[in-house]
């Protein structure tokens, strides 16, 4: 069994998003922060604001990040989730919009089937019961029943900001 320090060094080298209150059920997020104050100070380790609600069956998930920036639409969300996830985490910057959902049950099921580890939505989701039945992790600000637009401005594989935190493709 590796020590916390070697586990943390491994996580830093792999540059994965680690989402949740624990990693591999033995490494609490608070412990990660406590033993990595230097990495927190220089930005190598970043903590998202505690504004996300937990959905999906995976309480913890990690993987290389794929980024999307959208405005009240989800055409690119579907396009990305139709690709093999290979354990990646999709981070969707919806600008914190509360006007409509960017992810629903069908897309969550698609993400599960395509091998995505999880999805972080800086915005809303819908079909909560369906998403909670999927074997992926989802974090979102809230649920909203309204469908997203199909025509919207979107960018993929670009740096996104959640709060004042920059998240880059591939981290």
What distance lies between CA 155 and its chain's CA centroid?
16
Q: How many residues does the chain have?
A: 171
| 105 carries a ligand binding annotation | yes
| 73 carries a ligand binding annotation | no
| 106 carries a ligand binding annotation | yes
Contact in structure between 117 and 20 (CB atoms under 8 Å) = no
| 44 carries a ligand binding annotation | no
Question: Tokens for 76?
Answer: 């690119």
| CB-facing half-sphere around the CA of 36: CA atoms within 13 A | 24
Per-residue HEC secondary structure of 55-123 comes to ECCCCCEEECEEEEEECCECHHHHHHHCCCCCCCEEEEECCCCCCCEEECHHHHHHHHHCCCCEEEEEE
| 38 carries a ligand binding annotation | no
| 123 carries a ligand binding annotation | no
Annotated binding site for Mg(2+): 127
Annotated binding site for substrate: 104-107, 126
Annotated binding site: 104-107, 126-127
């Amino acid at each position: 069994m590796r020590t916390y320090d070697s586990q943390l060094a491994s996580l830093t080298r792999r540059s994965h998003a680690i989402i949740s209150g624990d990693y591999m059920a033995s490494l609490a997020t608070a412990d990660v922060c406590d033993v990595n104050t230097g990495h927190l100070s220089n930005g190598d380790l970043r903590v998202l604001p505690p504004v996300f609600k937990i959905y999906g069956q995976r309480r913890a998930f990690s993987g290389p990040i794929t980024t999307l920036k959208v405005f009240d639409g989800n055409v690119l969300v579907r396009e990305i989730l139709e690709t093999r996830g290979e354990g990646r985490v999709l981070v969707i910057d919806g600008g914190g919009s509360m006007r409509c959902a960017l992810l629903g049950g069908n897309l969550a099921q698609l993400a599960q089937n395509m091998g995505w580890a999880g999805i972080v939505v800086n915005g809303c989701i819908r079909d909560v019961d369906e998403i909670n039945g999927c074997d992926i992790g989802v974090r979102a600000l809230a649920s909203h029943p309204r469908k997203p637009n199909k025509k919207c401005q979107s960018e993929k594989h670009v740096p996104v900001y959640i709060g004042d935190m920059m998240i880059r493709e591939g981290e």
